[in-house]
A and B are shown apart, each in its own frame.
Chain A
Amino acid sequence: MKKILIKKRGTGDIESYFVLLKIIIAIGVVFSMYAYISSIQRDTFFDKLYLSRDIAFLMDSVYSSQGRFYIEYKRDMLKNYDVEFLKQRVKIIENNTDSKKKSLIIYQFAEDLNYKTRANKISNSNKITFQKSNNILEISKELKNKIKLISCPETEINDNIQNTKILIDVNDDGKNKLIPTIEHILQSKIKNSKTTKGKARLEIEKLIEESNVIISVRLNEKENNEVKAYISSSPSPEDKDILKKRNRLACLIINELISIDSLFEGGNIIETNPKYLKEEDKTILDNNKISIIVSIEIQNIKNLKDIATIRQIGESIYKGITTYYGK
């Protein structure tokens, strides 16, 4: 060893050993760097941590939110994991490894025991759905019409459809020529009904005064396909029962409309103070009658060319009215 280091002619050989050693060390470091980087690339820890907390916080917010609703939680990375909801815990489990190596991350959420929580295991999906209705929270369950339906207030209706003067007012704005079909259907089915079509303002005001029930149908172009019913929130103080009746009629009509297959995404009733409405709507709602404005919001009114669908809308409104009168 001593000889090798001291020998002059051997210095080149010693340098070449050092070079070889350096190369071996460098290759070793490069390989370990590569291994570390690729482990980070494969590492799912952060994803699982993020998803578990995000979903647990969403659960917390869902429980404290009031009313009925349906929401979708979408994340592309969800496809790589199974999600389970069990005993106030969200479990995020890797689904692309063999069963022995499946690692999971759990995070707790606060359950509201006033709600029955029903959850399916979520696999190979990039979304989780949450439906809250009455005292039930359903997670990733099939969307049923029953869940979409609004629970209607019960109230005693002593009137008869034959003896009730019903005024029908369809506002089409001329955007779709088939829309008056709704008016024709309602008028042909309800014998004691009148329409505002082609009438002058004074004549309409007189008709409003004579009628017991006013149903106004509006078609609006909006981003979502929804049905809204506007009712007046200010009944006369001596007759609070009328608010319940308006609510019930609006609710029954909406439930019939949203039951039409894949036409509407949902519906709701909006109690409004008529003084904030447009002049023509004010005359419809600002009275002590059972009056509602059914606003049908469709993405593109011009695309509503199918006569069968228009007929279905008209018939659904009629069905809502007959259910209200108990027939």
Chain B
Amino acid sequence: MESKLLKNKKGDFIGLNIVLHIFEIIFTISLAVFLLLIIHIEKDINTFDLESEIFINRILYSNNGLWLYDKDTGRIYPGIIDIKNFDINDIEKNLEKTMFFGKENNRLAAEIILKLKEKSYSIYYNKEKYDMWVSLYKAGYIKGIGARKGKNKKMPVLVKKGEEMIPAILDITILIPNR
């Protein structure tokens, strides 16, 4: 019975060949599906855009000495800079204190430029690393391990000079190492 099903007159395995071909088709399809699946499994998360936006917001909304601060209510006014209390050294120290990554900061560096009509002021966060990283960023080296990604944001601000409010531009560039 078995030999009749599996062998022809010459003794070849015809039935088994058919079964094997069906099996091969199923196998090939599953292999193709499997390969398609593993191609599309993404194990890397690119969070640069979100991360850079969060860090810019930390500069904009923290009480770091950059913004006008009402001591009575404990409220800061983001977007308004009080030129009377504008001290670059103080702001830089406060930035380090309000965004503290540990003694060695390899996570973030930033340059903040306040552009007034007559003068510009530059404030740095993690200046040492900024000077090291900025050349890589400007050279367009933004892919792969060791590269530095950057984001630039310009926004209009008001500078309070006595009772007068002077329009100015705040130019923030932040640099984050690629991970």
Question: Interface of A with B (CB < 8 Å)?
Answer: 9, 11-12, 15-16, 19, 22-23, 26, 29-30, 33, 36-37, 40, 45-46, 49-50, 53, 57, 60-61, 63-66, 87-88, 108, 110-114
**Cβ–Cβ contact A63 & B12, under 8 A:** no
Q: How far is the CA of A174 from the CA of B63 in the complex (A)?
A: 47
B34 touches A (CB below 8 Å): yes
In whole Å, how far is A195's beta carbon from the nearest beta carbon of chain B?
34
Of the residues A37, A40, A110, contact of B100 by C-beta under 8 Å? A110
| Contact B55 A60, beta carbon cutoff 8 Å | yes
A61's partner among B12, B57, B75 (CB-CB below 8 A) is B57
Q: Identify 15 residue pairs between A and B in the complex whose beta-carbon atoms are under 8 Å apart, listed by A's number.
A: A9-B11, A12-B13, A19-B20, A22-B24, A26-B23, A30-B27, A30-B30, A37-B34, A45-B43, A63-B58, A63-B98, A88-B102, A110-B98, A112-B98, A114-B98
In the complex, whether B47 has a CB less than 8 A from a CB of chain A is yes
* Distance A12 CA – B44 CA, assembled complex (angstroms): 51
Nearest Cβ distance between residue A27 and chain B, in whole angstroms?
10
Q: Give chain B residues whose Cβ lies under 8 Å from the Cβ of A113.
A: 97-98, 100
Complex A-B, nearest 7 residue pairs according to Cβ-Cβ distance, in ascending order = A110-B99, A64-B58, A64-B61, A111-B100, A113-B97, A112-B98, A60-B54
Residues of B near A40 (CB, < 8 A) are: 41
The number of inter-chain residue pairs (CB within 8 angstroms) is 86
A-chain residues with CB within 8 Å of residue B20 when the two chains form the complex: 19, 22
Bound-state CA distance A72–B17 (Å) is: 63
Contact with A along B50-67 (1 / 0, CB 8 A): 110011011011110000
Q: What is the total number of residues of chain B having a CB less than 8 Å from a CB of chain A?
A: 37
CB <8 Å contact, B100 and A19:
no
The answer to whether A66 touches B97, judged by C-beta atoms less than 8 angstroms apart, is no
Contact of B22 with A by CB under 8 A: no
Contact present for B43 and A46 (CB under 8 Å)? yes
Minimum Cβ distance to chain A for residue B23 (Å): 7
Question: Which residues of B from 60 to 80 have beta carbons under 8 Å from A?
Answer: 60-63, 75-76
Cα A36 to Cα B41 with chains together (Å): 12
In the complex, residue of chain A having the shortest beta-carbon distance to the beta carbon of B54: A60
Chain A residues with CB below 8 A from B27, complex form: 26, 29-30
Establish whether residues A66 and B75, one from each chain, have CB atoms under 8 Å apart when the complex forms.
Answer: yes
Asked if A112 contacts B55 (CB within 8 A), the reply is no
Whether A19 lies near B13 (C-beta < 8 A) is yes
User: For B51, what are the chain A residues with a Cβ–Cβ distance below 8 Å?
Assistant: 57
- By a CB distance below 8 angstroms, the chain B residues around A66 are 61, 75-76
Residues on B with C-beta less than 8 A from A33 are: 30-31, 34
Q: Select B12's contact among A11, A46, A53, A87, beta carbons within 8 Å.
A: A11
Nearest to B58 among chain A residues (CB) is A64
